[in-house]
Amino acid sequence: MPRTFEEECEFIERISPVAYRIKKGFVPGMNVEGKFYVNSNLEKLMFEELESSSGKQGIGGFTPAVKQIANVASLPAIVGHSIGLPDIHSGYGFAIGNTAAFDTSHPEAIVSPGGVGFDINCGVRLIRTNLFEKDVAPYKEELTQSLFDHIPVGVGSQGIIPIKAKDFEECLLYGMDWTVREGYSWPEDKEHCEEYGRMLQADPSKVSTRAKKRGLPQIGTLGAGNHYGEVQVVEEIYDKHAAAKMGIEDVGQVVVMVHCGSRGLGHQVATDSLVEMERAMARDNIFVNDRQLACARIRSEEGQNYLKGMAAAANFAWVNRSCMTFCVRQAFSRIFNSSPDDLDMHVVYDVSHNIAKFEEHWIDGRPKELCVHRKGSTRAFGPHHPLIPVDYQLTGQPVLIGGSMGTCSYILTGTTQGMKETFGTTCHGAGRAMSRAKSRRNLSFETVMDNLKQKGISIRVASPKLVMEEAPESYKDVTDVVNTCHEAGISSKAIKLRPISKYYPPDFDPSRLPKAKGKRNRQFVQRVMVPFNMQCNTCHEYIYKGKKFNMRRETADGENYLGLKIFRFYFRCPNCIADISFKTDLENCDYIQEHGATRLFDAFKFYNEKAKQEDAELEAEKNDPMKMLEKRTQMSKQEMQAMGELEEIQELNRRNERIDARDFILDDKKKAFLLAEMQRQQQEEDEEFVRQAFNKTQGGGKIIRRIEDDEDELSSRGNLLFPTKPKNSGQKELVETLLCGQVKQVSDPGPSTAANPQPPGSSKDKLKGLVVRKRKPESEGVSKTIQPPDLPGPSRIQNSKPDPGPSISSTNLPKPLPGKSASSSSPPAKQKLLSSLAAYGSDSD
């Protein structure tokens, strides 16, 4: 059940002579309280609007401003208050004149296009001059007409700044950096703009092609609605120190104020984003009291896409105002025959009142990063803030407040109190008191015109209906608005300005302009198929033969073939909207590509010509001895360099061959485990071998092995990963005995055998008598020495002296070869076996 006006007023409480508080519960789900600033004159409009809507769904599809403030207070992650400024009136989603901040550290923090508006970065720029009213008065009409000639106005107006699609992408990305590079701005202009005329997070790829098509021809245009350009004079100075910092010396000094935004591009960016926001709300379960408050999480893809597209539109708005500044300077220079520099036409400041920015503010005694939405409200940072220019560090940021048609404007400065209460925000203008439709119904064109003429204001306008829509009666009193902000302490008055020339209102009718006489080159738009394959030079998009476009056709001036006309066709690339043109070639029954693209067969022809040119250069080198010498010298140097590099690679490969990869792969623990495992396996193999050998001996068998076979086996054992070596001299003595083919007591200076008896069944006892020498057949021609069988590992050989076994008679030993004695043949074999065993056991100690 809708509440009555009296019931709704119970939730509204006055907290100061110029401020009201909206309690929680005024609308469902309020997370913070609402707050708005009005004086006694302005509060009547606020409460009349609320009373007229009580028990209804809204006015003309819009909700009253008081309820819109409360609806914004119900959005997720909002902090502080939902704030309404004195110039507030009903708008789309957010009220115009509404400010809200959202904690970016909160996972549910949102961004809402309705909190920025459709005219993204709509703002005001003030340009000072060293002229005074007495200097301008004689040329007032000429100056007004010159401004109107230089700056196009009206819905759909097209600018006079030539720009290509590639440059347009750069202006969306770089903002005023692009205008400085192209010469439309002075370098110092950037210093006196918010964000220095460029938002760094801009991404032109997040701006739709339709938005770019709408914005491309509108750079340097004023537009319609309440946008204007105004020549003003200083009427009153409240703060001389602040005025001196702005370059305003005395009353009567002439300044120029320009009010415009991002035109059709910003409107299209907002329209496109609202569709995505509604899908994001359904996906993330975001609930709002008003569908016009469509929003998305800041961290979501939709939120980031909007912020990047909004930043690109904001950069476009700064470019637009900078280009109009260029036109204003040219108009003044033309009228007063002086350069803009001689006229001291510097930018005082450029402010935005439709934007969302990431700023740091103090919340509950701690600094926090907030996403501050300002719709119809202006940033007003106080003194010593790091984001304002050095010139204004002691006075605070200048705030430009434009009045309505025929009324005064103001320059304010930011305050410290405003930083605490309103996130450094104040009003942006007068604010509407009547809707546009109501203004057209209640006001007459003649009455408004007479009032403006009585005030001595010269006017130019693109459409006469703007006279009623933007008449002073349609707006609140800007003086009441400014005084309320000054009394509340959220900003301070500095300068009052009075208009003397305005170029957006009355009696101008474009149809009455004198028309140029003479022949015109008539242009037609017709549906034409592309007659050949081409590639766009800007975006490299392929445009295939037979694709249809709406092309503009014109007759080529001064060109014909046998009396037949040559026609030229213009169209835009479907991807980057770059201009492409071609014309008919009647002589060759073909077409000639002129601008913006390249024919594909022309590209192939270019490649063929390049190949032919390379062949010709190669042939010329062959015929030139000096070039051939230089080429051979260069090739020799390259070959020497390559050989050096090859040698380095070969040396590295040789080094790598000597490195066992397992030494790098295995760590210490794995090495220890592998060592223990190999020792265990070796012990088992030795025991098994001794057992088999002992069994064979008991059965009457003998083991006869050649030293060649044993050398291979011993050599292979020497290449094990972790080899071992004999621990004592007992092994060496046993080997010597085996090499001599004798198993008997070996002379040893140590103690006698009786003192060191060997336990029965030891490995030495098992080996004694098992090895005999065998003569190799004479056919082999080489004498061989008997090699002992596989010796047991080091773990099986005791440190005690060998026990003398039964002697083997000398008759069992083979006779040496002719010419060699037994004593002379055994030492080489002995040394060979010892060297193999030494390598085998080199790492066991």
Known catalytic residues are 428
797 dihedral zone (left: phi>0; alpha: psi -120 to 50; beta)? beta
What is the Cα 816 distance to its own chain's centre? Answer: 92
Closest listed residue to residue 350, CA positions, set 306, 385, 314: 314
DSSP-assigned states of every residue in 690-730: HHHHHHHHHTT--B--BHHHHHHHHHHHTTSSS-----SHH
Cα(493)–Cα(495) distance, integer angstroms? 6
Cα(189)–Cα(348) distance, integer angstroms? 8
Angle value at C-alpha 712, between 706 and 718, nearest 5 degrees: 130
Tokens standing for residue 286: 């975001």
Residue 272's CB is within 10 A of a number of other CB atoms, namely: 19
Start-to-end Cα distance in the chain? 100
Question: Which residues, other chains included, contact 825 with Cβ-Cβ below 8 Å and sequence gap of 6+?
Answer: 783, 785, 816, 817
Whether the Cβ atoms of residue 408 and residue 457 lie closer than 8 Å to each other: no
344-354: burial string, b at 16+ Cβ within 10 Å, e else: ebbbbbbbbbb
Residue 58's CB is within 10 A of a number of other CB atoms, namely: 13
Q: Where are the alpha helices (DSSP H) in 789-821?
A: none
Closest listed residue to residue 402, CA positions, set 199, 255, 267: 255
Q: Which helix (H) or strand (E) holds 132?
A: strand 123-132
Closest listed residue to residue 577, CA positions, set 596, 562, 561, 590: 596
Cα(838)–Cα(843) distance, integer angstroms? 10
What is the Cα 134 distance to its own chain's centre? Answer: 52
Cα(428)–Cα(353) distance, integer angstroms? 6
Tokens standing for residue 844: 């066991």
DSSP label at residue 376: S
Question: Which residues, other chains included, contact 820 with Cβ-Cβ below 8 Å and sequence gap of 6+?
Answer: 783
Residue 716's CB is within 10 A of a number of other CB atoms, namely: 10
Question: Which residues, other chains included, contact 492 with Cβ-Cβ below 8 Å and sequence gap of 6+?
Answer: 238, 239, 396, 412, 413, 414, 415, 486
DSSP-assigned states of every residue in 3-71: PPHHHHHTTEEEEETTEEEE-TTSSTT-SS-EEEE--TTHHHHHHHHHHHHTTSS-BTTB--HHHHHHH
Tokens standing for residue 329: 């300077």
Q: Which residues pair with 585 in a beta bridge?
A: 590
DSSP-assigned states of every residue in 564-632: EEEEEEEEE-TTT--EEEEEEETTTTEEEEEESEEEHHHHHHHHHHHHHHHHHHHHHHHH-HHHHHHHH
Cα(307)–Cα(232) distance, integer angstroms? 35
Identity of the amino acid at 60? G
3-class SS of residue 99:
strand
Closest listed residue to residue 726, CA positions, set 843, 824, 804: 843
